[in-house]
Structure 1
Amino acid sequence: MSVLLVVVGVLALMLARVPVAFALAAPSMVYLVFSPGVTVGAALQRMTAGIDIFPLLAVPLFIFTGAAAMSAGITDRLFTAAEKTLDRIRGNLGYANVSSSLVFSWMSGAAIADVSALGRIQVSAMVKRGYSERFSVGLTGASALIGGIMPPSIPAIIFATTAGVSVGALFVAGIIPALLIFGVLCATVFIQVRREPDVPTDRVSTAEKLRALRAAVLPMGAPVIILGGILGGIFTPTEAAGVAVIYVLLLAALYRRLTVNRLYRMMLSTAETTAAIMLIVGAASLFGWVLTREEVPQQVAASLITVTDNPLVFLILVNIVMLIVGMVLEPTAAILVMAPVLLPVASAFGIDPLHLGVFMILNFMIGLLTPPIGLVIFVLSSVTRIPVPRVARGMIMVLLPLMVSLVLVTFVPALSMWLPGLLGYS
């Protein structure tokens, strides 16, 4: 009964639009005050321990990398290179949209960072060239989700530290699902441009293509360093984040975009985002400890096993639950709340933690495109000056292809598990 009151309290505070960190921490603290043998000091120690984990050091570093890449003009170079290279293909701006998001995802690690950096450029270019506003914002929001799946994924770091699995292994497990989303969105562009007869196909000269490609060569080195270094065993994901920061700052200096004012804004933005994430991590760690103390994960596992012993039915139920949770919680908080509960249940059904992590993250990424939270919707509205209702309507047309990706990732474990097994992670 006591833990039920805590959960009800958390939900009530969230519905009242109390910030997630405080909504998780306040009922947990009340529970501990009335629990014998537990002090408030122990609760604070638990919150501190939740963020005092070495792999989490990669989070601010990758956030800073994304901010520095945007300030250095790398996003413009990537989008221009993709647009010019694909000039002979009908719907080239749609493909350039998805391709530039894929490449930038190797530096940003988060969907919000992707849509913040590229959203204005992508939507503006597509609308000016005759694409419908609805399709432009929908594709931009959907392609930004690749940043939450493709390494260096910040949600993957959060899940790995919560589940006690290798960050590198989960990074590798997300590569093929991220490429699957890329392929599904390219197929969406192929179908949609045939419904929009006014979409032009502009030709550019070979010299112009070469200039655009030369401008993007050095920025493309960042993904090579991050992925190549991790997959090659040269350094850990945290060390890769540090190297990426140095590399992108060198590029900013080379492009004469590294000023004291810009550096200050990068550091301030990184500090604000990191503080918000870590506050949620600490509060969720305390909430998770309360659930564990009351043996909630074990009770949930026992309840689900009595409902069904079929892993496929379990996967369907879990996806439904996670899609609903993703609508009301942002991904970091959702992972920290759901992972401790679902891990033992998934283990009982023989589901690998890496597989669980990948489709859990994908579920919560889709939640970024759905009301009432829908952070990508609000950020995209902010950077494009398009009203929120119109941006939200644009997301409807991309939900089906994303759901197709989710079904494939959920029910074809090899998409997540083949590459880690090949590289010796599992």
Structure 2
Amino acid sequence: MADFTYMGSKKLLASQIAELVADMADGPFLDLFSGIAAVGSQIGTQRSIWSNDVQSFSTLLTGQKFRAARPFRTAHRIIERAEIPFAVNRTGLEGTFGEALAKEERALSTNDAEGARELIATMSQIDEKISTLRRQNVHCLLTGLHGATYLGIRQAIDLDSIRYAADHLRDAGEVTTEQHRWMVLALCQTLSTVSNSTGHFAQYLFPSEANIRRVVRKRRLNCWSIWSTALRESRPLGHVAWRRGNRVFKSDATTLLKKLSRNVRQPAVIYADPPYTSDQYSRYYHVLENAVLYDYPKVSSKGQYRPDRFTSGFSLKAGVDASFKELISAAAKLPSVFVLSYPTNGLLKDSTERVLELLMEEFAHVDQPLVIPHLHSTMGGSKGAQKQAVDENIFVAYQDPLARWHGKDAGGALASRRTGLAPIAEAEEIAT
């Protein structure tokens, strides 16, 4: 399936993490903050992949990629069956928003930034129309929440109608639950492709004379065409037998580790890639959460955020140290090798020294950090460089050297707090 490449600079580190993990004990690899599954995808079928994230979008993505029960070879037939229900829902929305669609077309045809801005105000006053459409069983969530902002009005109508087609075919028994998930995941891929933003969903790009051509280019993208292509390209990773051994969780990372410590089956390697800035990462997923959950939330602020966005202690200055301490303590109670990546300029103060200190309090062995020059995304900010050069520290800690080195001679590579050589410097699973 096509990759989600618009968020997360850690995708660039995935191959190096996979190479490091290759020398560790056989057994499941648990990705605690899986996001778009960059690291798990890079590791691939070398070992079982256990994925975890609090975001519904991420659990959908990892569930289809790593847990699909069968190959996906029915896209062409599904697209044909979706055409009629898609057209039915689209017609209902066009009848309600015909005037707004005409204004949008005029603004796009003339590169009219002011006209595009006026549409945002128009679409912010449609609550009564949305209520009427919902009573008529017309799918209209994306049109009502994000029409004229993250999405063009025509695009939002088409995306709502694709979701209607997916739900209609599932409810009629014409597609399976798993096929429905592929349809929704392809919808998310389409949404991320056409979204009028700076590379994430924290805020939409407000139309201006300076950016109107870019806005128009985005608005002209055809959602049905992009969705059809994305669905045809959708594929799970690996073979069926391997996917049966994978697992997908939807949990706070530390809570999951505490539950897994009571399980019979436990991961061989745990990888943690916690947030490193004061920005709550749920801001970058909320539009995709809406497309997946399709629950008509009451949104707020210019970013149109959900009221139930997850708040991470790793992104709170007052809570980041305690979050690290609790995470490391929970990881140390498992027999797994613990791999943690964190930049030198993260929110945690003096992060290199502090992380080492916390690891050495809990683990018998802590390797010298692997330092990787890296570029962090600035999340598409309109000011300054979009990439920032930093050093990424990869920490490795473990109780048993045989697990770390998979029976190999570690030589002088170990740094053990017990010998004074340490460097200074069953859980609830998502049904898939």
TM-score (norm 1): 0.25
Larger radius of gyration: 2
Q: Which structure: greater strand fraction?
A: 2
TM-score (ref. length: structure 2): 0.25
